Amino acid sequence: MLKGKNIILGVTGSIAAYKTAGLASMLVKQGCNVHVIMTENATNFINPITFESLTGNKCLVDTFDRNFQYQVEHVSIAKLADVVMIAPASANVIAKLAHGMADDMLSTTVLACKCKKIIAPAMNTNMYENPIVQDNIRICQSYGMEVITPAVGYLACGDVGGRQDAGTGDSF
């Protein structure tokens, strides 16, 4: 089912970024061609070399990186994508997507993609439940983006958070 699919895996500035390495590895094992795009903030939580080692593809971070293989990289990679998954999706990136902001490689590429988009929010429960974040999530959904609801789990701050009806375990 996934074999041969081109997946853009977006990684944002959340402590949950380390979990995306496992996701990237699983997708590669399923035969996917995985291209990871990280925000600058994500690089504070996990190194791009991790994703390059797992996927065999260059991990993209800088929109203006001059060491690339495509003429207009964010557009070229967007055309290849069968699906975009942003996991973890920070409140900041969700807001960018909801309002069409394109100020980094990830948000620029997602705006250029015509394929299915999946967002996996990962943040403190108080942030997630904030009405502004919830409005931004609804806006993303109104544009056809699928949102994976966080489950109940232990958070980096020591809280236990997430939706009580969403199951057990970490939100991502």
Catalytic machinery residues: 157
Question: In this structure, are residues 119 and 132 in contact, taking their beta carbons and an 8 Å threshold?
Answer: no
Question: What phi and psi values does residue 15 have, to the nearest 5 degrees?
Answer: -60, -25
Q: For residue 134, what is the DSSP state?
A: H
Residue with tokens 């500035």: 13
Instruction: Collapse the DSSP code of 103 into the 3-class scheme (helix H, G, I; strand E, B; otherwise coil) and give the result.
Output: coil
Q: Torsion angle, CA of 51/94/134/27, rounded to 10 degrees? A: -30
- List the one residue out of 89, 85, 83 whose CA is nearest residue 150: 89
Alpha-carbon gap, residue 130 to 114, rounded angstroms:
29
